[in-house]
Amino acid sequence: MFNKALISSLSIFLVFMVFTSSIKHKTRTLEKKINVLQDKIISLKKDLKDAKTDYVYLSSPAQLEKYLIVLDIKDYITFDTSNIFFSPQEFIISKQKETKLLKNNEYEKNKK
C-alpha cells in the first residue's frame, strides 16, 4: 500500500513537472515574439511620426508656393478649404447631401 501511494504521487509529480516545463517553454517563446513585435511597432511609430512631420512641412501653403516658383508653374488652381475632406466619412456625407439637393432641385423643376 505504501508502494502504490508513493508511485502514484511520484508519477503525478512527474506529469505536472513535464507539463509545467512545456508551458514555461511556450511562454518564453511567446514573450520573445512579443518583444520582437514591440520593437517593430516602436520603429513603425517613429517612421509614422516622421512621415506626418514631412507631410505637414511639405504640404504647407508656403512650401507649395516655393515649389511652384522653383518649377516655374503658373497655371495652378487653389482649393477652398470647404473642398478639403479630412476623412472618407466626411466625403461620403457631403456626397449624400449633394445628391439629396440635386434630387430636390430636379423634383421642383419637374413639378413646375
Q: Which residues make Cβ contacts (< 8 Å) with residue 76, sequence separation at least 6?
A: 68
pLDDT of residue 32 exceeding 60, the answer is: yes
pLDDT on residue 13: 93
> What's the pLDDT at 31?
97
Provide the whole-model pTM.
0.46
**pLDDT value at 4 more than 90:** no
User: Average pLDDT for residues 71-81, to the nearest whole number?
Assistant: 69
Please tell me the distance from the alpha carbon of residue 48 to that of residue 54, in angstroms, as a whole number: 10
Cell for 80? 477652398
